[in-house]
Chains A and B, each alone.
Chain A
């Protein structure tokens, strides 16, 4: 329970304090009218019983009625303070939480972003905090009232008549117990439901992503059937979750609220036995209708509260991801060493095994090997997307794990196959390489990256906005913009991963030229599957299944007659290949 409040408040449980206090005041303000109502009944009763007075005590009735009306103001004050506290706290906690989470994820490793679906992270920031807002403004005050009101009432009523109080509350623990017992069942059913939901989502993703294939192969029927089955499964899981959990929650409600019946039973015996004053009995009856109300509301919203607990848990999980840290900064133009590096995305399956090689400053190192041999992983480890499991990666003799990740990245330029452009102008997208660059510098970089021409031909030139994800430009154009960025950044280390793959001829030669501009006087790691392009590299490292099997210059490797030589020969053949 405490953990629930802890998670919901984003770890800052104290921020719920004022709301709790206000909910308590509001709850107490609601009990007073019930007591005053009892007094009205008492007055009328005494008149009819003619024991106390023969005249109707109209004065007392009017007084009580005035107090009731005046009490409306108190109730208004209590409620509006609760309203203030809960909503203000809700929006502030959510805003603070959103920003602190946003700040937190900024310091997480790039590997974290590779591992998680960006939609998922976005949903944490937006959707899950929306749920937290809703929870703090609605569920938390309800929950507090539901717990505190019976407790306060019990404390007060015990003095009035302990037997009646006992009858009233004796069943509540059983209701809570039932709820607690069903928790594991709920967890299992929810798990089934989540599974069905994920399955349906995967099938749907597959169906939508493959719709072209489905149309082209006339296989709508079979794929559709699998999708339909997953929807059907989801329907069944949803219905059984409702159907089985329903009676449990109903049972809990029945137990907690049966206190009313028990109290009436106890009351009537005590009353007839003369052991209970009528006014006390009336008080119990009327307070009884008030005390159980918030408890019922909470039980009705039980599902929603579990759901918000799940949202909060997801947020806390990300908050607990530890950011990469390190104080040291990089010495540019110094040797880079991989020293017996072992790394795997999960610990049991290493992608790189005991890999060692050394790069002298301002040289070009090419990585070659079959797909899945770990080439891309090498470049990503150097940029510290992930930290390695064994060995050391050193730049200028300093272990990169002791380096500040952002200062490390300042000295690395990356040009990868997939380029992300911001929803901003083309000019600003290039400026990202160097935030204080002048327009002249940007244009100079664009010219060197062979993208000035196509940019100036656009109606708005450098001020042309690019769409979400930069979708209005072709792959080759985006690639050249990313090279312009990298040129402007002018970092001492350059990582190139298949930067010219899948471009058409006129793009390809332009991109190639741009890359040559970029790599001059830099320490370069390059991955390219066309071996001709890397003949000039100072050294070529051949990887197979995460291990280095050959190393040397183009000529040396050819002479070795190993994997590199056979790949080279294979490509010599393919280049002359024709379909017909």
Chain B
């Protein structure tokens, strides 16, 4: 039942190009029928020879030549119809593939960021590339092949019954036996069990293979030779052994099936002789008998084809399941009428959040009752130990996830009511890891404001201190980034991101560790860029170097999902709480020198963890 609904999922996808696929199937059937023509021609020639057995000189040579020509014409026609059918099914298939990919890409951009955090990019990429590509096999090949492999034998057997039901019945018996053999094999307890084991072995081999290769640099560096190789070897050996066992298990029934189906005519011979012997003057029967003997082998090809067709189906169904799972992922809800804020105070009101749903057994709240106001024109800094929830707060403001409790508002308007597009218009973001697109540097900066002129782009680059290194590149602003173009260092990429944000000039700015990857020279320049960027904005900043943010109007100390302290730098230091500990750890880290063991640090760390 389950398998049936899965195949119907495939058919639904294929149904998008129904007309083309029906045409493809019709041509596929015609082509298969035309492939019987040589057999018919041989029969006709033998019939002619037999009718003139007594006077061989009167054989109609033109008739034989006609049938000879017919084999050629039929072959040609069968190839042409095969080609037309194949093109129809391939055009249908590649169009469906294309549409599936476009829809998938469109959909993944509309689901919440939470989905992308949970799901590895590689996995998504594999589904859109490989799983979708596998559909081609089903739509372009299997579908028309199955149709012709079923329709053609049915037509032929019908015709043969009409000619002589006794001989046709004899033909049906071995076919039925063969099909029974196969279904017994696949339906049996043993067969099912072996197949399950085979699946496990494949999965295990894949998993250990991935681990073996991915861990190889570490394996080499630590000189551990035996272990991971042995694990992989065991998995490969197990896979081979199970494959061989299944091969042995199937051997008898598969070989028997193969031999019987390709020797169908052998079974007609004795019955034919019996009938013919009882009525040997009946030349008409002799001719029918010969027809059966010649045409029967042409039944084997489509029947054997059916056997191979089931092969890749399981993989295709599995791929389809993954595609459907992506489509099932809910999209971020958009308001019907987006509301636009007129002022830019950011307010978090009793916000609680977990990545899992409340019902999930892994439910682990990341934020708990977070409330604060980040006023326009002021800087609000988020500090605290890693994993405390700082980045989550920043991500929630961008509505990468929706909060489970409480509300986030900008200028009094809940961000849910603003719509993603309007929200993004008022918020700029500089992330820790910057992603640059394969495009020119100019276009990468212009992403911030697609209507900006060249002059505006250059001005933003100058303010972000990246103009100098850009003009040093051979093609300046037209230099392409990545993929055979120029690769930029982390610090350079971050400055481009700042230029982007400058160009966007949104009233709210979120900075998440914007100077993390910079080296000495770069860091200084990034900092200059940032000073320009923050002027007059509502700024939310995350920085682990506390000296960077100690001038902020408001510092929120976030630990284990809650705001544990808040205030200005001096006020917080006086509290002698977590902030003070962080500050002292920061100061000692900043003065750390290689080769000097400083025992005071570990004591401080203990204190911090107890806090």
Contacts and interface: CB of A to CB of B under 8 A. Distances in A.
B259 A72 contact: yes
Contacts of B447: 213, 217, 219
A425 interface: no
A156 interface: no
A205 B125 CA distance: 7
Interface stretch (A2-10, A177-185, A331-339, A568-576): A568-576
A217 B224 contact: no
Interface in B216-252: 216-225, 227-229, 232-233, 236-237, 239-240, 243-244, 247, 251-252
B387 A474 contact: yes
B385 A574 contact: no
A422 B594 contact: no
Interface residues of A, number: 170
- Main SS class of interface, A: helix
Interface string B67-84: 111011001100110110
Contact of B424 (A205, A215, A453): A215
A476 B294 CA distance: 77
A503 B293 contact: no
B91 to A, nearest CB: 6
A453 B609 contact: yes
Given A250-B79, A264-B41, A502-B516, A95 B239 contact: yes
Given A212-B431, A571-B520, A476 B601 contact: no
Interface stretch (B148-156, B177-185, B583-591): B583-591
B211 A503 contact: no
A574 B523 contact: yes
Nearest to A66: B270
Interface string A433-471: 101000000000000001001000000000000000100
A258 B72 CA distance: 6
Contacts of A533: 592-594
A340 interface: no
Nearest to B435: A210
A322 interface: no
A325 to B, nearest CB: 14
Contact of B247 (A91, A204, A209, A529): A91
A396 B522 CA distance: 38
A113 interface: yes
A213 B431 CA distance: 9
Contacts of A370: 519, 521
Interface string A407-442: 101101010000010110000000011010000000
Contacts of B429: 216
A509 B588 contact: yes
Contacts of A126: 205-206, 209
A95 B590 contact: no
A247 B232 CA distance: 45
A125 interface: yes
B265 interface: yes
A41 B290 contact: yes
Given A218-B424, A254-B75, A76 B256 contact: yes
A48 B593 contact: no
B435 A580 contact: no
Contact of A212 (B46, B113, B233, B421): B113
A410 B493 CA distance: 37
A574 to B, nearest CB: 5
Contacts of A113: 216-217
Interface in A255-292: 257-258, 260-261, 264-265, 267-269, 271-272, 278, 282, 285-286, 289
Contacts of B546: 505
A242 interface: yes
Contacts of A62: 270, 273
A191 interface: no
A17 interface: no
Interface stretch (A147-155, A225-233, A309-317): A225-233
Interface in A542-580: 567, 570-571, 573-580
A99 interface: yes
A228 B86 CA distance: 25
Contacts of A516: 594-598
A302 to B, nearest CB: 13
Given A45-B53, A509-B592, A91 B243 contact: yes
Interface string A361-381: 000101000111000000000
A102 B585 contact: no
B259 A285 contact: no
Contacts of A205: 121, 125
Contacts of A12: none
Nearest to B491: A371
A410 B101 contact: no
Contacts of A278: 49, 56
Chain A CB within 10 Å, residue with most, of B108, B214, B251, B301 = B214
B258 A79 contact: yes
Nearest to A236: B94
A206 B586 CA distance: 37
A17 to B, nearest CB: 19
B534 A201 contact: no
A580 B102 contact: no
A72 B589 contact: no
Given A502-B516, A526-B594, A414 B129 contact: no
Contact of B86 (A201, A210, A246): A246
A272 B600 CA distance: 112
A475 B82 CA distance: 58
B360 interface: no
A370 B469 CA distance: 13
A505 B283 contact: no
Contact of A106 (B61, B65, B116, B216): B216
A31 interface: no
Interface stretch (A115-123, A157-165, A346-354, A386-394): A115-123
Contacts of B595: 364, 516, 519-520, 536-537
A16 B316 CA distance: 31
Contacts of B294: 286
Contact of B251 (A30, A83, A110, A519): A83
Contacts of B606: 453
B388 to A, nearest CB: 9
B420 to A, nearest CB: 7
Given A41-B290, A247-B83, A264 B68 contact: yes
B432 to A, nearest CB: 8
B564 interface: no
A469 B98 contact: no
A208 B125 contact: yes
Interface stretch (B158-166, B365-373, B471-479, B549-557): B549-557
B276 interface: yes
Nearest to B132: A231
Contact of B240 (A92, A261, A422, A423): A92
Contact of B594 (A239, A261, A506, A534): A534
Contacts of B586: 505
B496 to A, nearest CB: 11
A258 B75 contact: yes
A364 B10 CA distance: 64
B605 interface: yes
B251 A212 contact: no
Given A65-B273, A235-B98, A485-B222, A469 B387 contact: no
Contacts of A232: 98
A506 to B, nearest CB: 5
Nearest to B90: A242
A489 B218 contact: no
10 contacts: A64-B269, A72-B260, A110-B217, A200-B129, A213-B447, A238-B97, A239-B90, A282-B46, A516-B595, A574-B527
5 closest A-B pairs by beta carbon, nearest first, are A264-B68, A49-B53, A371-B489, A529-B519, A261-B72
Given A217-B448, A534-B594, 14 more contacts: A48-B286, A65-B269, A79-B259, A106-B216, A126-B209, A220-B109, A227-B105, A250-B83, A258-B72, A264-B64, A264-B65, A422-B218, A432-B224, A509-B589
